[in-house]
Each structure stands twice: as structure tokens, then as C-alpha cells.
Amino acid sequence: METRPKMTKYEERSPERVQQRTTVAPRVDVYENANELLLLCDVPGATQESVSIQLDKGLLTIEANRKDEPTGSSLVAEYRPSDYARVFSVPQGIDAAKIDAHLSGGVLRLRLPKSEALKPRRIEVRSQ
């Protein structure tokens, strides 16, 4: 009687195949104040070099690759380390040159400063 599922890895059976990588959408918080939009994004396993952020035609693309982990025989497999990808549409008034990204402890902090035109402005009322 077979007690264990077959553990032969796909890569071992056909080493020359093109491997499809799995991608998941990372979890994101979006905050806004008068000066900027702030995105917090969970990308555990991603390194500074592997993250790429792009703003093009009002679309903000966040991508991050994750290295394959060296494995032994698997005892528990509750998740599969995957690459990250997510796209947001952002308002036109974001100053693309001043976008700032910071990665720490698997959390990506992305600051999208608003351009001057979008910021709230106080108009002085004059009386004559």
C-alpha cells in the first residue's frame, strides 16, 4: 500500500522545461494626507535588489522576486514562496521624480508625494 504521495520533483523529471513562477498580490495598506500617498506593502522574502517599482501613465506597478529556497524533504507545506506583483492606478498629480521607497523587515514603504498643483492651498481673502 502506498502511504506517501510521490515526492519526485517536477524539475528533476524534466530539467529543460521553462518554469512558470507563481505570483501573488501582496497585501497593501494605502494612506493619504495632504502632502502624499503612503503605501505599505508586505513582501516577505523580497530583497532590495529584487523589488522593482514603476510609475507609467498613471499606473504604479510593484513587483518583487523571491529566490527559490534550498529544500530538504518537505514535512509541512502550508505556503509556497511566490513572486509578488500588483498594479494600482494613481492620480495624475503624483510627482514621479520624488517617489521614495524603503524596504525593511519584509515591509515596503512607498511614499508618493503630491505635486504642488494637487496640494490643498489656502487662499487669502482680501478686503478693500
Interatomic CA distance for residues 11 and 30, integer angstroms:
39
Among 23, 45, 83, 118, binds other proteins (CB under 8 A): 45
- Closer residue to other proteins, CB minimum distance, 104 or 128: 104
Position 47 contacts other proteins (CB under 8 A): yes
Interatomic CA distance for residues 119 and 116, integer angstroms:
5
Q: How many residues does the chain have?
A: 128
> Taking a C-beta distance cutoff of 8 angstroms, is the pair 47, 21 a contact?
no
Among 49, 78, 116, 124, binds other proteins (CB under 8 A): 78
Site for other proteins, rule CB under 8 A: 1-3, 5, 27-33, 38, 40, 42-47, 69, 71-79, 81, 103, 105-107
